[in-house]
Structure 1
Amino acid sequence: HPIVAGMLGVAFPPFCIVLGSLGLVCVTFVSTWCQYWRGGFALDGSAGTFNWHPVLMVTAMVVLYGAVPWAGLLGCCWVLGWAGGARRALPASAPLEFSQWVVGFSTFLLPWAPTWLRVVYKPLHVFFGSTILVLALASCVSGINEKLFFSLKNQTMEYQLLPPEAVFANTLGLLLILFVLLVLAALARPSWKRPDADSPDSCQ
C-alpha cells in the first residue's frame, strides 16, 4: 500500500511516534463512538457496562498488543474482567496472547534459555504474534460491523446517505486496519529487527 510504503521510508523513531499517534486516534474514536452513540459507560451491569468491551478490545488487544506486548497482556486481563460475555474471537485470541507472552518472556528474557533456542523460536514468535494481532483485528472489525448491523437495522442505502454513526464506525475500522498494516510492515522490515545474539551486529 502506498501509505504503508511511505511510512516505512522514514526513520524508526518518527515511525514510532506516528504509530503511537495513530493508536491513540483509534482509542479516541472507539471511546467517542461508545460515549456519543452507544449510551456511554457504566459499572452497574447495565448496557453501558458492555460498552467497555469494544474500548478495551481496541486498546488492549490491537493498539497495546501491537505496540507494547506486556501492556497488551495487562489490557487482556481488563477485557476478560469487564466483558465476561466476550465475543466469539476473544476466547481464541486472549489465551493465544497470554501464551505468546509467557513463552516469549521465558525464551528471550530469562537467562537459562540457550542461544540456539532463541534463534529457532524467534521466527515462530514473530509469526504467532502477527497472527494473534490479525485475529484481534478481525474480532474488533467484525464486532463493529455486528453492532452497526443490529443497531441500524442494516438498511441498504447509498454510502453518502448513511447515518453519521455508520460513517464514524467505518472510519474507525479503517484506522484499525491501517494500524495493524503498519505494525506488520514494520515487523517485516529487516533493518528494524533486533540482531541475534551471535550476529556481528549485536556486538557493536
Structure 2
Amino acid sequence: MVLFTRVLAHTLPALVVVLVGYWMGSGLTAYPVKDGVVTETETGGFSWTHGDARVFNWHPLLMSFGFVFCSIQAALVYISLPFSHAVNKVREERKNWLGLSVLILFGAHWLGSFVVFFYPGAEKDARASIAPYHVAIGMSILGLVVATVETGILEKLAFNGSCNVNGELNGKTVKGYMAPDCVIGNVIGLFVALTLAALVATIWTSKHNETPKTVGDEATPLLGSSGDEKTEMSV
C-alpha cells in the first residue's frame, strides 16, 4: 500500500504537467457566443510575442510545474530518499511551495524551518516538538496550493465558455454541450485532487506503519522513513 501511494504521488504530478502542456499547447479552445451563434476558436499554442494572447498559456504550464510537480516532489523527498537527516538537511531549502496566493505563508514557513532545522538550528528536543507542526503547516500550504490550481482551472474554463455551450455550433444547435476543452480541464482538476490525496496517504502510511526507532541526533528524516535501514551519521 505504501509503495502504491508513493508511486502514485510521484507520477500523478508529472501526468498533470503533461496534460496541462497538451491542453495549453494544442487542446485549448474558446467558444464565444454572439447572437446565438457559437464560434469555435482555437487558442492553444505558446508565444513570447508582446500582445499575443498565447503568452498567457505559459502561466498554467509553468505554475503547474512549480505548484504541483515541484512542491509534491519536495514534500516526498524525505520519504523516497531516506538518507539520514544529516544528509537531508541540505535539501531543506528545496521544500518550497510556489504560488502567489500562498507566498506569505510559504515565506514564513520556509524561514521558520530554516532557522529551526538548518541554521542556526534549535536544540534536539525543540526540533522534535516543532516537527509535527512543521509537517502540518506544510501540508496545509499544499492544500492551499491545490485549491489555487483548481480555482485557476475553473477560471480558465469559464473564460473559454467550453463547459456549457448553448447555441448554433458548426451548423448544429447545441444545448449544454461539453466541449473537449472542458473535458481536458476537468480531467486535470481530478488528477490534481488525486495527487494531493496520494501525497497525504503516502506520508500518513509512512509515518504510522512503522516501529519508531531510537537514533542519534540529526538522524531522523523530517517526514518519516521508508522502512529501509538507515545509516546513522553523527554531526
Superposition TM-score, scaled by structure 1 size: 0.73
2:44 is the counterpart of 1:54: no
Question: Given that residues 163 and 178 in structure 2 are in contact (C-alpha distance below 8 angstroms), is that contact kept between their aligned partners in structure 1?
Answer: no
| 2:144 aligned to which of 126, 135, 138 | 135
In the alignment, structure 2 segments of 5+ residues that lack a partner are 29-42, 76-92, 167-173, 221-229
Aligned residue for 1:80? Answer: none
Preserved contact between residue 60 and residue 72 of structure 1 (Cα < 8 Å): no
Structure richer in helix, relative to its length = 1
- For structure 1, the residue ranges without an aligned partner over 5 or more in a row are 1-8, 77-89
Deviations 1:94-153 (A, max 9, x none): 232233223223322336321122112111111111111111111111111111112116
- SS of residue in 2 equivalent to 1:188: helix
Tell me the residue number matched to 1:25: 15
Counterpart contact for 1:61–1:72, Cα < 8 Å:
no
* CA shift in 2, pair 1:146/1:159, >3 Å: farther
2:131 matches 1:122? yes
Residue 169 of structure 1, aligned match among 163, 166, 185: 185
Q: Secondary structure at the match of 2:119?
A: coil
Q: Contact conserved, 1:186 with 1:192, CA < 8 A, in 2?
A: no
Indicate conservation of the 8 Å contact 2:164/2:177, yes or no: no
Distance 1:110 1:196 in 2: 24
Deviates more, 1:21-30 or 1:53-62: 53-62
Provide the identity percentage.
Answer: 25
Greater shift in the superposed pair: 91-100 or 168-177: 91-100
Counterpart CA distance in 2 for 1:192 and 1:49 is 47
Which structure has more strand as a fraction of its residues?
2
2:24 to 30, 34, 41: 34
- Partner of 1:65 in structure 2? 71
Give the letter aligned to residue 13 of structure 2.
G
2: CA distance between counterparts of 1:150 and 1:63?
25
- How many matched pairs? 179
Q: How does 1:1-204 map to 2 (within 5 A)?
A: 9-11=1-3, 15-36=5-26, 37=28, 38-45=43-50, 46-68=52-74, 70-71=93-94, 73=96, 76=98, 90-110=99-119, 112-152=121-161, 155=164, 161-189=177-205, 190-191=207-208
Please state whether the residue corresponding to 2:104 is helix, strand or coil. Answer: helix
Q: Is residue 24–residue 45 contact of structure 2 (8 Å, CA) maintained in 1?
A: yes
SS at match of 1:107: helix
Q: Which amino acid aligns with 2:134?
A: H
**Bigger CA radius of gyration:** 2
Please give the TM-score of this superposition, normalised by the length of structure 2. Answer: 0.64
Whose relative contact order is higher, 1 or 2, with alpha carbons under 8 Å and at least 6 apart? Answer: 2
